[in-house]
Amino acid sequence: MDRNYLLSMIKELVSIPSVTESASESLPGEAIFARLSKLAYFREHPGHLQLADTPLEGSPHRLRSLVARVDAAKKTCRTVLMIGHYDVVGIECYGDIAEHAFSVDELGKIFNAGADTIYGRGVMDMKCGDAVETALIEEFAEDRGLFDVNLVMALVGDEENSSAGMRGVLPLLSAMKREGLDFLAAIDTEPGEAGQSGAVGPMVFLGTLGKIMPAFYVKGRGAHVGNCYDGFSALLAASCLVSSAEGDPALADPVRGVCQPSWICLDMKAMHSTYSVTVPDKAYAYFNCFTTKNTPAQIIVQMRNIARGALEKAASQTEASYRALLTMGYSGSAFTGQAPSVYTFGELCALARSRFGEEFDSELRAFSAALPPGDMRERGIKIVDFAAERSGAEAPYIVVFFLPPWLPVRSDLTESGRDAAVVRAVRETEAECAGKYGLEMKEIEFFAGLCDLSYAGGNFSSADAAAFSENMPGWGEIYSIPLRDMQELGMPVVNLGPSGEAPHRKEERLYLSYSLDVFPELLKSLIAKISANCL
């Protein structure tokens, strides 16, 4: 690939301010679509180039994702998928130089960039990868003897948010498989530093970390604060829950001597819209949870235990406070404890259904559909609150459920023959990097920055899918994943990308010598080696 051509395309793509959930988010896809449309191959095969609507639930902006396919000269079903995203995070961190965040040349002057470095929002995460993949599609379209496998490229938006783009193109990829394509592997070209914080240089990943969002809805009993022991503070129970789960080593999910952070609370709040001197009777909390082995069903068991313990601790603390105040002259209402109850969202809905029959399901769908656009986490919590009001469950209790997004874990270090073949291809590429370019490539099992490979390589059971979907409020309305398409695809995954530093920060930069001179050649070589190994 021509270095200057790649650099020009990267600058062009960076100049498009495709911030996640903005009106400009899809513009890079449209620009690449226009570029590819001019090629003779796509004029002859217009059905092989699509700009598909892949909307983000609840967003007012149109989101479109690009899928391009080039078939090898010799007819074959064997296919390699390349994926990437063209959305970028916001530019608030640039402060008083934000107006230059999308100008590689201007930031180069501001940061006094050397000859091997360029700066700009998205320059490494991941418009370099987008440019290299696009240039490879162009090269293959001109010379279809370059590979003996077909190439499909999916460039999407919303990766930095809830992966609506990748979720949206899964049915298109699954349809290709049903038509006869055999996907050997998926290659993402995210920068290595985005998947291994603090590391710099050539890296390759043989999988991607999983993520799930455990959530808790706490129902207490309201009471005037002057008679607070008549009530049961949902906020106290929520705080007990957070203090118990936050960073708990027992909730971490290490594998093969490597461990990611344990649960981290992303939000906790009492649910009321106005000031009131009333013991809070509703609260929620939800967490980030990385996974390597734990399944949704296993995590629900953990959530139940955490919820039960939080209710018991809150009741014990409240009762101890009441008894201590009695000795100090307090004469208010007595605290009356009650055996705590914990429900999954599915169980809560079953309680409501036992009261109202199928009418409840209709009401729940109507309520979900009528929620105004906005954050899907907030909308999911409102759905749980609606179901709780209809359930008739006696407080205090906690409902455990999941919030979006879910990214299933994927590792190629399995017993699968095709996984092993892809790992061989990767290790041959590592050897080539060392022998031909004198560079050591670091091999890492999990891309820890989270990426769309979770959807291309999703490897989970039907029980996992049911445990998640049955306990995800608003499933199909505020959030959905084409689970069957994911399971049907479920291919080996690799991340091989450019080199740079500081993704998501104002110092985001790309190192050109590796990213433009070495990485594109290694990507081409990896595709050929996957073909040779996956017979």
Q: What is the pLDDT of residue 413?
A: 94
What is the CB neighbour count within 10 angstroms for residue 324? 10
Domain boundary among 406, 438, 472: 406
CB 381 within 8 A of CB 284: yes
Q: What is the mean pLDDT of residues 374-381?
A: 95
Q: Is residue 169 part of a domain?
A: yes
The CA-based diameter of the chain, rounded to the nearest angstrom, is 90
Q: Which stretch of 132-136, 409-413, 456-460 has the lowest confidence by average pLDDT? A: 456-460
Residue 336 contacts by C-beta under 8 Å, 6 or more apart in sequence? none
CATH number of the domain to which 302 belongs = 3.30.70.360
**Residue 337: pLDDT over 80:** no
Q: What is the mean pLDDT of residues 484-494?
A: 95
Same-domain status, 308 and 357: yes
Q: Report the distance separating Cα 133 and Cα 135, nearest Å.
A: 5
Q: Is residue 449 part of a domain?
A: yes
**Residue 458: pLDDT over 90:** no
- Amino acid in the structure at residue 5: Y
**Residue 454: pLDDT over 90:** yes
Q: What is the mean pLDDT of residues 496-510?
A: 96
Same-domain status, 426 and 393: no
Q: Is residue 465 part of a domain?
A: no
Q: Report the distance separating Cα 115 and Cα 125, nearest Å.
A: 20
CB 529 within 8 A of CB 494: no
What is the CB neighbour count within 10 angstroms for residue 90? 16
Q: What is the pLDDT of residue 199?
A: 84
Nearest partner of 519 among 444, 421, 454, 441, judged by Cα: 441
Q: What is the DSSP string of 44-78?
A: H-GGGEEEEE-PPTT-SS--EEEEEEE--SS--SE
The residue segments making up the domain with residue 259 are: 211-406
Same-domain status, 398 and 416: no
Same-domain status, 452 and 374: no
Predicted confidence (pLDDT) per residue in 273-282, tens digit: 788 888 899 9
Q: Report the distance separating Cα 126 and Cα 121, nearest Å.
A: 9
At residue 478, what are phi and psi to the nearest 5 degrees?
A: -100, -15
CATH number of the domain to which 168 belongs = 3.40.630.10
Q: What percent of the chain has pLDDT over 90?
A: 90
**Residue 203: pLDDT over 90:** yes
Q: Is residue 362 part of a domain?
A: yes
**Cα 49 to chain center, whole Å?**
26
Same-domain status, 263 and 246: yes
Q: Is residue 222 part of a domain?
A: yes
Same-domain status, 197 and 294: no
Q: Report the distance separating Cα 84 and Cα 491, nearest Å.
A: 16
CB 151 within 8 A of CB 69: yes
Same-domain status, 177 and 104: yes
Same-domain status, 7 and 146: yes
- The position carrying tokens 């679509």 is 33
Predicted confidence (pLDDT) per residue in 24-46, tens digit: 999 999 999 999 999 999 999 99
Q: What is the pLDDT of residue 320?
A: 94
Is 253 strand, coil or helix?
coil
Same-domain status, 205 and 217: no
Model confidence, pTM: 0.94
Domain boundary among 363, 391, 406: 406
Q: Residue 334: beta bridge partners?
A: none
Domain boundary among 377, 406, 435: 406
Same-domain status, 302 and 235: yes
Q: Is residue 361 part of a domain?
A: yes
Q: Is residue 467 part of a domain?
A: no
405 cis-preceded (ω within 30 degrees of 0): yes
Q: What is the pLDDT of residue 335?
A: 85
Detail the DSSP E strand segments found in 180-219.
182-188, 203-205, 207-208, 210-219
CB 498 within 8 A of CB 510: yes
**Cα 400 to chain center, whole Å?**
21
Q: What is the pLDDT of residue 366?
A: 95
Q: How many domains is the chain partitioned into structurally?
A: 2
CB 13 within 8 A of CB 102: no
CB 344 within 8 A of CB 401: yes
Q: Report the distance separating Cα 439 and Cα 459, nearest Å.
A: 32
Predicted confidence (pLDDT) per residue in 151-179, tens digit: 999 999 999 999 999 999 999 999 999 99
Same-domain status, 397 and 417: no
Q: Is residue 484 part of a domain?
A: no
Confidence of residue 191 (pLDDT cuts 50, 70, 90): very high
Same-domain status, 424 and 359: no
